[in-house]
Amino acid sequence: MSKILIRGAKVLGGEAQDVLIDGETIAEVGTGLSAEGATVIEAEGQVLLPGLVDLHTHLREPGREDSETVLTGTRAAASGGYTAVFAMANTFPVADTAGVVEQVWRLGKESGYCDVQPIGAVTVGLEGKQLSELGAMHDSAARVTVFSDDGKCVDDAVIMRRALEYVKAFGGVVAQHAQEPRLTEGAQMNEGVVSAELGLGGWPAVAEESIIARDVLLAEHVGSRVHICHLSTAGSVEIVRWAKSRGIDVTAEVTPHHLLLTDELVRSYNAVYKVNPPLRTERDVTALREALADGTIDIVATDHAPHPHEDKDCEWAAAAMGMVGLETALSVVQQTMVETGLLDWAGVAERMSFAPARIGGLDHHGRPVSAGEPANLTLVDTSYRGVVDPAHFASRSRNTPYEGRELPGRVTHTFLRGRATVVDGILA
């Protein structure tokens, strides 16, 4: 088997060390390791992280291969430093049967760029009426443990309660897209000062917060765990903080864009800023950063949502919601969390690798960088500064809100079980 020696990298941002990969495994971590028989990567000054894990990715296949496929999406993931992604269920057909999740799982295997763990739909057709065959999806080759109707909220309290209870039988978790549907009919952007001026339908924070409040109470009542997708408001942070203080088994994610962008950008009516949940206010951004730092929010998840150009190059109301994020997530986190002093790199590793793998039940990802562990690794040049140019994206879609924006950091190498998927910033 081939050997690779990563020399002088700051492991999790700490002391410079050498890491020797032998085959699919980390063989040794230390200083002054022998390079004999190994390909050497000089990584002085760079930060070595465990391969990133994204709990919230839309790969669009099957059904919307014009915006992304499992292959292009996993290439984008590898470019962004990810070694595993969870593929959301809102495909066409919906991933609500063992057949569809196995198809996505198999396409992931074939891509070879990053592991793909399918998420199963909670309800048939994401319609919120009848539970999907959750057990069958868990028992399938895809071994589904995370279930979500993401894109839609499981708004019926009884269906949500039953789902939370049912998946306990096999250690599953329901990831809720918290959006009260009646309060968000016709909603186009965060409801507040900017929506009042722009005349765009308001999307009140309470539509998210009321569902989160209900669901943490349901989780407590039935003794289940619940995961909250893309938390976006200061009020949601307060509710999750309260729930955790009460011992409720809740985890939560925040997207990179909600850590950086605000609804002021909507003044451009540029639909690249249209996203669900919507961009909020500066006050929310500050609360989300603090919550991610203090652990109230457990992880960063991209909500990578590719859309073809024509679905964004139009009037706001007609545009699709969502942003691509896999290839810029780490840079946004570096800018908003590391360079602000809120997190160190070990903290980033926890929130972008260890914790998401734990929540999603992945055994071979999100592991420590130490001997005997799977060689899923990401090497980051944190001193890099560059302007985002979507023309260079591996994703099939270009709907990034960061075009033309300078962001720090660049993934130079990604290793999936010892195989380099990215070398010197270029897909292998």
Partner 1 sequence: MKRHLISAADLTRDDAVLILDTAEEMARVADRPIKKLPTLRGLTVVNLFFEDSTRTRISFEAAAKRLSADVINFSAKGSSVSKGESLKDTALTLEAMGADAVVIRHHASGAPYRLATSGWIDSAVVNAGDGTHEHPTQALLDAFTMRRRLVGRDAGLGKDLNGRRITIVGDVLHSRVARSNVQLLHTLGAEVTVVAPPTLVPIGVESWPCEVSYSLDDVLPKSDAVMMLRVQRERMNAAFFPTEREYSRRYGLDGDRMAKMPEHAIVMHPGPMNRGMEITAEVADSDRCTAVEQVANGVSTRMAVLYLLLGGSEPAVTTASTPRTEESK
Q: What is d(CA 428, CA 426) in angstroms, rounded to the nearest whole number?
A: 6
- The answer to whether 284 contacts partner 1 (rule: CB under 8 A) is no
- The answer to whether 180 contacts partner 1 (rule: CB under 8 A) is no
Kindly tell me which residue out of 40, 141, 169, 314 binds partner 1, with binding defined by CB under 8 A.
314
Q: How far is CA 68 from the centre of its chain?
A: 16
Interhelix angle 98-111/70-79, nearest 10 degrees: 50
Q: Please, what is the minimum distance in Å from the beta carbon of residue 304 to partner 1?
A: 25
How, if at all, do strands 377-387 and 406-416 pair? antiparallel
DSSP 267: G
Kindly tell me which residue out of 157, 193, 387, 426 binds partner 1, with binding defined by CB under 8 A.
193
- The answer to whether 194 contacts partner 1 (rule: CB under 8 A) is yes
- The answer to whether 198 contacts partner 1 (rule: CB under 8 A) is yes
Q: What is d(CA 84, CA 272) in angstroms, rounded to the nearest whole number?
A: 26
Kindly tell me which residue out of 204, 308, 361, 368 binds partner 1, with binding defined by CB under 8 A.
204
Listed in sequence order, the residues at least 6 apart from 318 whose beta carbon sits closer than 8 Å to its beta carbon are: none
Q: Please, what is the minimum distance in Å from the beta carbon of residue 273 to partner 1?
A: 11
342's tokens: 């809120």
Q: Please, what is the minimum distance in Å from the beta carbon of residue 192 to partner 1?
A: 5
Q: For the chain, state the CA radius of gyration.
A: 20
Catalytic annotation, residues: 303
Kindly tell me which of 118 and 202 has the beta carbon lying closer to partner 1: 202
- The answer to whether 15 contacts partner 1 (rule: CB under 8 A) is no
Q: What is d(CA 12, CA 344) in angstroms, rounded to the nearest whole number?
A: 8
Q: Please, what is the minimum distance in Å from the beta carbon of residue 178 to partner 1?
A: 19
Kindly tell me which of 197 and 282 has the beta carbon lying closer to partner 1: 197
Q: What is d(CA 116, CA 96) in angstroms, rounded to the nearest whole number?
A: 16
Piece in contact with partner 1 (CB under 8 A), picked from 73-81, 252-260, 263-271, 331-339:
263-271
Kindly tell me which residue out of 199, 247, 341, 404 binds partner 1, with binding defined by CB under 8 A.
199
Q: What is d(CA 8, CA 4) in angstroms, rounded to the nearest whole number?
A: 13
Task: List the one residue out of 285, 153, 176 whose CA is nearest residue 232.
Answer: 285
Listed in sequence order, the residues at least 6 apart from 334 whose beta carbon sits closer than 8 Å to its beta carbon are: 348, 380, 382, 407, 408, 409
Task: From residue 304, give the alpha-carbon distance in Å to each of 74, 253, 325.
Answer: 11, 13, 5
The site map against partner 1 for 370-389 (x = CB under 8 A) is --------------------
Task: List the one residue out of 63, 68, 127, 65 whose CA is nearest residue 93.
Answer: 63
Piece in contact with partner 1 (CB under 8 A), picked from 112-120, 161-169, 309-317, 406-414:
309-317
Sign of CA dihedral 406, 407, 413, 414: negative
Kindly tell me which of 267 and 392 has the beta carbon lying closer to partner 1: 267
Kindly tell me which residue out of 310, 339, 406, 424 binds partner 1, with binding defined by CB under 8 A.
310
- The answer to whether 139 contacts partner 1 (rule: CB under 8 A) is no
Kindly tell me which of 179 and 281 has the beta carbon lying closer to partner 1: 281
Q: What is d(CA 60, CA 57) in angstroms, rounded to the nearest whole number?
A: 9
- The answer to whether 130 contacts partner 1 (rule: CB under 8 A) is no
| Residues numbered 80-119 forming contacts with partner 1, rule: CB under 8 A | none
- The answer to whether 318 contacts partner 1 (rule: CB under 8 A) is yes
Kindly tell me which of 215 and 263 has the beta carbon lying closer to partner 1: 263
Do residues 327 and 394 make contact, with C-beta atoms less than 8 angstroms apart?
A: yes
Residues of each annotated binding site:
56, 58-60, 90, 150, 177, 230, 276, 303, 307
Q: Please, what is the minimum distance in Å from the beta carbon of residue 286 to partner 1?
A: 19
Number of residues assigned to the chain: 428
Piece in contact with partner 1 (CB under 8 A), picked from 101-109, 286-294, 311-319, 392-400:
311-319
DSSP 374: B
- The answer to whether 404 contacts partner 1 (rule: CB under 8 A) is no
- Interface residues with partner 1 (CB under 8 A) are 188, 191-202, 204, 268-270, 310, 313-318
